[in-house]
Amino acid sequence: MSGALSKEEIYLQYKDKVFAYIRNHVNSPEDAEDLCADVFVKIYQKLDTYDSSKASISTWIYSVTSNTVIDFYRTNHIHSEIPEDLTDERSTVEEEVLSQENLSLLAKALKDLPQEQMDIIVLRYYKGYTLQEVAELMHLSYGVTKLRHREALGRLNEMLAS
Amino acid sequence: MNKIARLFDYQKYESNSELADIISDVESRYPDKRRALSDDELEFVAAAGIPDQAGMKELRPKEKNKAGVVSNPIIPDKRP
């Protein structure tokens, strides 16, 4: 259990992050508010099971939030599929990847890419466009976009692994 | 989901400033033309997701593209 933060402190410290994340994934503000409340109910219920040796509390809260959004999609069958940027794997192994340090590394790695490749990656993985939509936005053929995308991923994974 | 996708998803929660600057830069060059349908517009979308164009046109102001052609694009927001 987190002895450092009380439930109220956790709420005050993380409510904005949680809500911003949910709002990024859910269209309706009302649904977002409901989900945000659900997240904190779960956090409070599971706080005794939180293990600080496995992940920071911020990353743990992120996992609870992400899983709550996934459950929301499953329950409501919205668009009949879970968005690609969410996973239905509840693996905690990924949590070691999720850190400010790795976000900074990703930023540096993106800056080292040719602009076209950087744009493809951001449009694909942050904005959630399909490669077809990215190709249309960037006035490129689908084939070229797919190739640049593959090149960019290869370079990024290389840079992030080193 | 790959590591890159997971990190971008985490960015929506943690908001690293360096990465946010890069994203803002890309967004400024490719404005998001997608938008969510309003509740009024949703009334004209059938369960199969097929919009009633006539009904929706009455709700939306006419828009002109750069060529001056009036259009009424209805682009459902694919983002969750």
Q: Summarize pLDDT for B23-73 with one digit per residue, the tens.
A: 999 999 998 766 555 556 666 666 666 666 666 555 555 544 444 444 444
Q: What is A100-161's CATH topology? A: Arc Repressor Mutant, subunit A (1.10.10)
Structure tokens at A65: 């939030």
pLDDT at B8 over 70: yes
Residues A83, B79: C-beta atoms closer than 8 Å: yes
All residues at 6 or more sequence positions from B50 whose CB lies less than 8 Å from its CB, including other chains: none
Average pLDDT, chain A: 87
The mean pLDDT of A39-56, rounded to a whole number, is: 90
Domain A7-95 classified CATH 1.10.1740.10? Answer: yes
Structure tokens at A88: 């239905």
pLDDT at A13 over 50: yes
At B78 the pLDDT is: 47
Query: What's the rounded Cα separation, in Å, for the pair A40 and A43?
Result: 5
Residues A17, B14: C-beta atoms closer than 8 Å: yes
ipTM for the assembly: 0.84
Q: Tell me which of A55-69, A89-103, B37-51 is least confident.
A: B37-51
Please give the residue that has the higher pLDDT: either A39 or B60: A39
Give residue A55's pLDDT band: very low, low, confident or very high (50, 70, 90): confident
Domain ranges of chain A: 7-95, 100-161
At A91 the pLDDT is: 47
Residues B1, A79: C-beta atoms closer than 8 Å: no
Please give the residue that has the higher pLDDT: either A1 or A49: A49
At B13 the pLDDT is: 93
Using a CB-CB cut-off of 8 Å, the residues of chain A touching B27 are: 122, 127
At A56 the pLDDT is: 86
Residues A110/A121, Cβ–Cβ less than 8 Å:
yes
Q: What is the reported pTM?
A: 0.72
Chains A, B: CB pairs < 8 Å: 115
pLDDT one-digit tens code per residue, A117-129: 999 999 999 999 9
Residues B4, A106: C-beta atoms closer than 8 Å: yes
Give residue A161's pLDDT band: very low, low, confident or very high (50, 70, 90): confident
All residues at 6 or more sequence positions from B27 whose CB lies less than 8 Å from its CB, including other chains: A122, A127
Residues A119/B30, Cβ–Cβ less than 8 Å:
yes
pLDDT at B77 over 80: no
Domain ranges of chain B: 3-71
